[in-house]
Each structure stands twice: as C-alpha cells, then as structure tokens.
Amino acid sequence: MDTPPPPKPQKNFGECSIDKIARSLGETFDLTPRQKAVIECFKGPHVQDFFTVIPIEGLGQCMSAVEYKAILKYRLMIPMYPEDETRPICRKACMDKYGEHAVHCKELPGFKCRHDWVRDVSGDILRRAVISAKKEAPVNFLTDHMEGRSTLRPVDLLVFVWAGGKHACVDLIGVSPLAGLRENRFVAGQAIRKAESKKVDKHAKACADNHHAFVPFAFDTFGSLAPEVICLFTRVQQVVHSSGSSTGGQWFVFNRLEFAIQKGVAAQLVARLPTILM
C-alpha cells in the first residue's frame, strides 16, 4: 500500500503582519493626523463601554437609528456634512465635514443640552446607588478668586457627606479633544486634563474655604474621562457592588455614563444634519 503524502503545513495567519498584508494587496496605509488622534482617544479607559449597554428606554439607554448612525460616523471618521458650510448662529467658523464644530461650539444650543443630559444621568446613577445627591444645588459660594466675584450659580451636583464627612461639589465640563488639532502635536487626554485643571483653579479654593470638597467632572466627546471622574464613579461602582444592587452589575455605572455622553454628542450631530441626509 502506498504511503499517503504528508499533509501540507497550514499557513499561520497570526504570523502575518499588517505590513505584509498591505503589501500583498498593493495598498499603502497612511493615516491623517485626525485619524491618528482619534485612534489614540479610543485607547482611554471606558471609552468603548457604551457599545455594551443594553437598550433600556426608562434609563435613557436608547438612541434613534439616525442618532446611532451619526455617532458611529463621528467615531469612525466618516464625513457627515458638506464642507465649508457657514453656521448662521456663530458665523465665525465653518461646519467641517466630520462634525467637530457641531460638538464643540458653545454658541450652539446643543452644547448646554449635552451638559445637562450627562448631569441628569449622573445624578440618577447616584440616586440608584442610594447615594444622597442634589442637582443644581444653590451653594452660593462658587467664587472665581481670579476675578474676585461670585459666579452666582448653583453647583451641577452636590454629593452629601462624600469626602471626609464633607459635601462634594461636582462641576461638569465637556470638551472636544480635536478642537484646534495640529499635525504631530496631539496628546490623548490633554484636553480633559487641561479642563479639569482650569475647574480646580476656578472653584477648589472657594469650596475648601466653605468646608466642601470639589470634584471637577471633565469628559470629552469620545467618552474619555478625567482622573477625578474615574475616581468618583469607581467609588460609586464599589457602593453599587457592595450593596448587592440589581441595577446592572459591576459594569452598570461606567456603561451608563459613557452611553449618556455619546447620546448627548449624537443629539448635537443630528440637530445639524441636512434634512436630505436624515
């Protein structure tokens, strides 16, 4: 009986590098500064958490098809708008095709709506974790010591007896990490760290003088969170876990927070989509 030929060795595709695949296809991959920056943004902790959220309308964890498509295009760098479209409200910038101006311009009404939506969801997360907190609490001592005047506004969230027996003033700010992007000068997380630092400079002293803790809540449009925010909600997550709450397990806190951020950004993008593209 003839001996069967030995089996052909199987090619291990795991050993093939991206460069080899690209050469075999005859293509060259050359990322733009924006693409490189966005990829760096995606490496941050919790940035991808919103993809695993279970749709629950009662928790605000739902998006319309148009909203979900818009947020995916924004994250995947797929153009959404015509280029060089002047905005009638601010009149000082053009609507770029990727929607960056739509999500970072403070003169457009959606900017405040996004802020309020993330604040409201954060307050509801605290409530469901049985942590006593109040939205828009009138503390009346938030003073900008650099200008020497009272801001005369409530704090976004006041968390009672949170830090060493003190109430904690939580102040939100959302930023775009790609605003003013320059080639080879992007550092992931820099925008939220800078926003966090500015909030501390502005309000921390006033809070300390009035025996309150201060927590700057800085986040960006891709869902990156400043260190103080991660510390705050990691502790909230520990409270949820230790209480044996059925609010969704150990991932409930960050998943819901990240979905709230992306839902707010999606609403801004959709509000400025040309009707023919909706």
SS (H, E, C) 224-270: CECHHHHHHHHHHHHHHHHCCCCCCCCCHHHHHHHHHHHHHHHHHHH
pLDDT at residue 116, rounded to an integer: 93
Of 9 and 255, the structure prediction assigns the larger pLDDT to 255
Taking CA atoms, 164 is separated from 16, 50, 63, 203, in Å, by 55, 32, 39, 19
Of 106 and 253, the structure prediction assigns the larger pLDDT to 253
pLDDT at residue 276, rounded to an integer: 45
**Which residues, including other chains, have CB under 8 Å from residue 264's CB and lie 6 or more apart?**
113, 114, 115, 117, 118, 174
Check residue 208 and report its DSSP letter.
H
Q: Is the pLDDT of residue 12 over 50?
A: no
For residue 273, which amino acid is it?
A: L
Q: Is the pLDDT of residue 27 over 70?
A: no
Tokens 């300390």 belong to residue? 208
CA distance 236 to 130: 10
Contact 111, 268 (CB under 8 A): yes
pLDDT at residue 67, rounded to an integer: 94
Cα–Cα nearest to 268, from 230, 221, 229, 236: 221
Confidence band, pLDDT 50/70/90 cuts, at residue 118: very high
Confidence band, pLDDT 50/70/90 cuts, at residue 25: very low
Contact 211, 231 (CB under 8 A): no
pLDDT at residue 28, rounded to an integer: 55
Confidence band, pLDDT 50/70/90 cuts, at residue 59: confident
Q: Is the pLDDT of residue 267 over 80?
A: yes
Confidence band, pLDDT 50/70/90 cuts, at residue 112: confident
pTM: 0.80
Share of the chain above pLDDT 90, in %: 37
CA distance 231 to 219: 13
CA distance 69 to 81: 13
Q: Is the pLDDT of residue 247 over 70?
A: no
Q: Which of 50-64, 193-207, 236-250 has the lowest mean pLDDT?
A: 236-250
Residue range 171-204, pLDDT digits in tens: 999 998 887 676 667 888 889 999 999 999 988 9
> What average pLDDT does the segment 210-217 reach?
94
